[in-house]
């Protein structure tokens, strides 16, 4: 692994576990076993480093989302979306943590993520799924669903038990089926 990649990797770990603001570039350098100056050669600044981490991570997530977007059956859409946080966290626990941290901590970031519309297509897909399922108030049902999904995403950060996670998914799914 080259040094730039190593910086990205270490920074992701630290940002996820300690938060972005709380992580100094000097610590990143130390753990990545590079000089602190090198960080600023490869990235414009600390925020630039964060942005590159985010881009990389989102790219890795995209296939999972595309899978959902390609699905036709509403029940399956609901299920796959519920499964999404679990799948992401299995493959990219650190990144998921970072994402949830930033989402929460930083209003601007949350808006960017919405405006950037990375998750917007998924949002529409879910809305339509609940319409197809003939819920009397599909929009509210989707809202409730995303509330639960957010809670589940947070839950997973602290609770790694795979079996239990899938039981929860089943249980939640039941509540959003007809």
Pick out residues in 12-51 that bind a second copy (CB under 8 A).
19, 21-22
- Measured between alpha carbons, how far apart are the two ends of the chain, in Å? 50
Count the alpha carbons within 13 Å of 169 in the hemisphere toward its beta carbon: 20
**Considering only 24-32, 69-77, 126-134, 157-165, which stretch makes contact with DNA by CB under 7 A?**
24-32
Token duo for residue 39: 């960080």
Angle at 92 between CA 87 and CA 95, to 5 degrees: 125
Q: Judged by CB under 7 A, which stretch of 28-36, 107-115, 123-131, 150-158 contacts DNA? A: 28-36
Q: How far is the CB of 51 from DNA (least distance, A)?
A: 12
Q: How many CA atoms are closer than 13 Å to the CA of 62, on its beta-carbon side?
A: 9
| Identified binder of a second copy from the candidate list 100, 113, 126, 129, rule CB under 8 A | 100
Q: Which of 155, 160, 162, 166 binds a second copy (CB under 8 A)?
A: 155
Mapped onto helix, strand or coil, the DSSP state of residue 62 is: helix
**Smaller CB separation from a second copy, 43 or 176:** 176
Q: At its nearest, how many Å lie between a second copy and the CB of residue 144?
A: 5
Q: In residues, how long is the chain?
A: 178
Task: Return residues touching DNA (CB under 7 A).
Answer: 2-4, 23-27, 33-38, 40-42, 45-47
């Amino acid at each position: 692994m080259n040094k730039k990649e190593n910086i990205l990797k270490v920074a992701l770990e630290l940002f996820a576990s300690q938060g972005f603001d709380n992580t100094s570039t000097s610590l990143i350098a130390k753990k990545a076993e590079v000089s602190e100056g090198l960080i600023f050669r490869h990235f414009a600044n600390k925020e630039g480093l964060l942005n590159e981490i985010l881009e990389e991570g989102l790219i890795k997530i995209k296939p999972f989302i595309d899978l959902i977007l390609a699905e036709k059956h509403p029940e399956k859409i609901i299920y796959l979306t519920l499964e999404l946080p679990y799948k992401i966290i299995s493959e990219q626990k650190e990144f998921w943590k970072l994402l949830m941290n930033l989402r929460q901590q930083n209003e601007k970031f949350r808006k960017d993520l919405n405006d950037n519309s990375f998750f917007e297509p998924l949002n529409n897909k879910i809305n339509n799924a609940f319409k197809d399922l003939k819920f009397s108030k599909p929009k509210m049902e989707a809202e409730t669903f995303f509330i639960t999904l957010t809670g589940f995403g947070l839950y997973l950060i602290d609770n790694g038990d795979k079996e239990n996670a899938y039981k929860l998914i089943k249980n939640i799914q039941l509540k959003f089926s007809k």
